[in-house]
Amino acid sequence: MVALWVHAARVAALSLYSATPRPRILLIDCHDSYTQNVARWVASASRRVHGSPRDSLRDHWPTVIGHDDEALTATLRSEVSSEFLGEWDGLVLSPGPGHPGSALDFAETAAGLALRNAPHSLPVLGVCLGHQGLAWSEGACVAPLGVPRHGVVDGVFFDPEARLFRGLPQGFGATRYHSLTVLDDRRLWASPLRVVARSKAGDVLALEHVGLPRFGVQFHPESVATRHGDLIATNFLRYCCARSVGMPVVLTAAAAAAAAAPKPRTSWRVVATQVAAWAPDVDGRELAATAYRDIFYNQSRRSVWLDGDGSTAAPVSVVGGTGPHGFAVTHKRGLSTFERPDGQRKVVEGRLLDALRRELEARRPANGPLPLPFDFQLGFVGYLGYELRRETRDYTPGSGDDDDDSTPDSTPDSALAFVDRAVVFHHRLRRAWALELVADGEVPSFEPRISGGGTLWKPPEKTSAVEFECAIDRTEYGRRARLALDRIAAGDTYEVCLTTSFQATVGGAPLEWYERLRRANRAPHAAFLDLADVSVASSSPERFLRVSGRDVEAKPIKGTAPRSADPDRDEMEASILERSVKTRAENLMIADLLTNDLLRVCDDARVHKLAAVESFATVHQLVTTVRGRLRQGADALDAIDATFPPGSMTGAPKRRTCEIIHDLEARVPRGCYSGALGFLSLTGDADLAVVIRTAVFTHASDHHDSWTVRVGAGGALTALSDIPSEWAELKLKANAVLAAFGSTLKPDSFARDDPLFDDDDDDEDLDDDDDDDDGQPSSLLSATTSRASSSSSSSSSSSSAPRWLHSR
């Protein structure tokens, strides 16, 4: 087994496509959200220095293996450990959450083992946690930095003799993501490491081994905001190449064979007919709204309306439903239920993404993607709820965070409709097409009549305000936020998206509420889904992921400011947002994270626009654009697997931060909120929005004419966060939706020195000034404790009974 691994690693290192000698680098991933960026950083330096212009980046990609990989750990624990490591030309240890002395974070993982067993001649580079690990393994001390530095760019001042920084300008800017630091004390001085770079404030930013080719950098050389980082990789690879014997590399046939696997043949066709064209003075969005009501709503078992606003981000509206070949899919905890129009059901066990891929493959139209000016050519429309994270790549099975405290209702984790009939409205071209899926020999029969003018439905203007209740009050929010900041200070996470939800019972059809929402909060990725037991009304401004052909784009948002009716003030809000150090830091972390996630499935991925202001109906946002090209053999479902849940809803590093959030949010499932909503087209394309600014309707107990409506809201906490402002921001986001229900959360009136938000951990005084206090114990600590001791959940559920905050 061990020997096998040595062999497998060699093959992995050899399965490159050219005969150019290039360093073989092993990159051990400590499950950071930036490891893929480190891999790209190494690969591009390798290609530049040791490659030929024809090489692709992937030809130079290091071998990336998780620090908890069983085979690797077993090999590194065995007697062939050094021999195995000797096969490589360089070892890179990635950044990651936690402390290098902790067994599971680093010390007893493949990263720590590799460091212990590395032959002296093997060049080693530790990045951030890897750097701290290098120091720690030499007896130095790693302790809190005092003030964590996350997502900020600082000057690096280095010793001119430092081998790693040859050719770099003194004081070059580098991104920092850390809470811990190597202490510059006797223990470090007694070690063979010397400090070769510092920040202006004197923090240790880089180390070099005096005798061996071993280096550590505390900052992130691979970050989009680090200038000249490429030279650092080049300098490191020099050491690796000195070792490399330039062995000619053999082409392996495995990849080619996999790509040539036969595609299933189908007998399906998509029939497209142009059904409408309209004059410039007609509002295409309203035509689509009418078509949705007239053709699909209440007429097919499931119906959907992707209410694109005609902007470049969302040029089309799609209305559709489940016709004769349509069906519904709901998914909960590893089980997918398929329901055909005739009511027949089948239940399939396994990952939802795999099930969806199978269904799409089985219906791939023989007449291929049609030459139409849009990507949705029938397929799945619906939502992938946040809980789907347990079936995607950034989840550690057995991590113990699959113990949801309560399922609020019968809402499926994910729900989609397979839409076999739709009308697509192209707002710029002012034309609409009807699409229908037909089987071989079947005669097309879908002939929708698109009527405009006169018949538009308008919701009644006045509605009495709905009273929403928040699942937690501000005291509890303050407590959770402080715990999040503690975890940041401990180095376990760099950014935490902390959320909660607002709930109400309403009468009237969800569609009518949606009609109000789309007027109150116009948004590019707005949508309405009628999926029988659950309806979703969304006014999301955020694109999660678009796959069009092989092009992939993500547009994460981080940074929110209110809009103002006064144009001067409005402009000022936008410009303050754009320049805020705190929000730029928040945004940078997620920009780097999305790049990392896309690199898992793309040949390359890059930030195209970093933190640009975009103004929506109720808020200004900082939006980043990350783009890549899908790797051969990867599809949209792989892209979802690599990026879900949306990083802007988790924080970084994603894997560990999701576990932390699960605790902080008292194990209450987020459901549809925080997931993704949109389509997976039969063409293989996809476009999904992040589920925010969204109301989710489920039937209120047995009353079929009343609905429980839930609205999630939250925001990112970083080391720079000020808790009262975060709470205000959360309410601002909630208001974007609550306004459609005639309801507005008022700003809290409390002094800046409100004891609720004090850093002092003295819980005793916390409730004293709380005007919402109903005398119940606050929930989070008990919930966390009960989880740690894995005792009964009843104690935590009773103590986490919400203390309501009223909305009017």
Residue ranges of E strands in 635-775: 651-652, 676-681, 686-690, 694-699, 706-717
Residue 758: is it exposed, middle or buried by C-beta count within 10 angstroms (0-12/13-18/19+)?
A: middle
- Of positions 117, 179, 336, 800, contacts ligand GLN by CB under 6 A: 179
Helix count (H) and strand count (E) of the chain? 20, 33
Query: Is residue 161 flagged as an active site residue?
Result: no
Is 578 one of the catalytic residues?
A: no
How far apart are CB 655 and ligand GLN at their closest, in Å? 13
Contacted entry of ligand ISJ, ligand GLN, none for residue 412, CB cut-off 5 to 8 Å set by kind: none
Footprint of ligand GLN on 490-509 (CB under 6 A)? 491
Closest distance between ligand GLN and the C-beta of residue 513, in Å? 43
Considering the complex, state which of residue 22 and residue 733 has its C-beta at the smaller distance from ligand ISJ: 733
Query: Rounded to 5 degrees, what angle do the CA atoms 648, 642, 25 make?
Result: 110
Q: Which of 622, 618, 620 is nearest to 518 (CA)?
A: 618
* Residue 98 site contact among ligand GLN, ligand ISJ, none (CB < 5 to 8 Å, cut-off depends on kind): ligand GLN
**How far out from the chain centre does Cα 333 lie?**
20
Say how far residue 420 (Cα) sits from the centre of its chain.
29
Site string for ligand GLN, 90-109 (x = CB under 6 A): -----xxxx-----------
Distances (CA, A) of 545 to 218, 373, 642: 31, 19, 11
DSSP 56-110: -GGGGPPEEEETT-HHHHHHHHSTTHHHHHHT-SEEEE---SS-TTSIIIIITSH
Report the nearest approach of ligand GLN to the CB of residue 95 (Å).
3
Catalytic residue among 30, 128, 241, 470: 128
- Written as six digits, the tokens of 122 are 């093997």
Scan residues 8-67 and list those touching ligand GLN (CB under 6 A): 32
Q: Return the number of the residue (422 or 497) whose C-beta is nearest ligand ISJ.
A: 497
Residue 236 has phi, psi (to 5 degrees) of: -65, -45
Q: Produce one character per residue of 476-493: b if its CB has 16 or more CB atoms within 10 Å, e if not.
A: bbbbbbbbbbebbbebbb
In the complex, what is the shortest distance from the CB of residue 737 to ligand ISJ, in angstroms, rounded to a whole number?
9
Interface of this chain with ligand GLN, residues 196 to 255, rule: CB under 6 A: none
Question: Rounded to an integer, what distance in angstroms lies between the CA atom of residue 585 and that of residue 346?
Answer: 47
**How far does the chain reach from its first CA to its final CA, in angstroms?**
65
Catalytic residue among 138, 222, 359, 387: 222
Q: How far is the CB of 734 from ligand ISJ (least distance, A)?
A: 7
List the single partner that 554 binds among ligand GLN, ligand ISJ, none, CB under 5 to 8 Å by kind: none
Nearest distance from C-beta of residue 260 to ligand ISJ, angstroms: 40
328 close to 302: Cβ distance less than 8 angstroms: yes
CA nearest neighbour of 187 among 131, 139, 135: 139
Residue 529 binding result from ligand GLN, ligand ISJ, none, given CB thresholds of 5 to 8 Å by partner type: none
Catalytic residue among 31, 220, 331, 525: 220
Give residue number: closest CB to ligand ISJ.
648
- If you compute the radius of gyration of the chain from its CA atoms, what whole number of angstroms results? 27
Question: Residue 804 is which amino acid?
Answer: W
Q: According to CB under 6 A, which one of 42, 164, 180, 318 is a site residue for ligand GLN?
A: 180
Residues 330-349 binding ligand GLN (CB under 6 A) are none
DSSP annotation of 264: P
Residues that bind ligand ISJ in the complex, under the rule CB under 6 A? 497, 499, 542, 557-560, 648-649, 690, 692-693, 712-716, 733
Question: Is residue 386 near ligand GLN by the rule CB under 6 A?
Answer: no
Shortest Å distance, C-beta 751 to ligand GLN: 32
CB of 97 to ligand GLN, least distance (A): 5
693 contacts which partner out of ligand GLN, ligand ISJ, none, CB within 5 to 8 A by kind?
A: ligand ISJ
Among ligand GLN, ligand ISJ, none, residue 805 binds (CB under 5-8 Å by kind):
none
DSSP 545-579: EEEETTEEEE--EEEEEE--SSHHHHHHHHHHHHH
| 542 classed as catalytic | no
Would you report the helix, strand and coil content of the chain in percent, each value rounded to 5? 30, 30, 40
CA 60 centroid distance within chain: 27
Binder of residue 112, out of ligand GLN, ligand ISJ, none (CB less than 5 to 8 A by kind): none
Picked from ligand GLN, ligand ISJ, none, the partner binding residue 715 (CB below 5 to 8 A depending on kind) is ligand ISJ
* Chain residues that interact with ligand GLN, rule: CB under 6 A: 32, 95-98, 128-129, 177-180, 491
Active site residues: 128, 220, 222
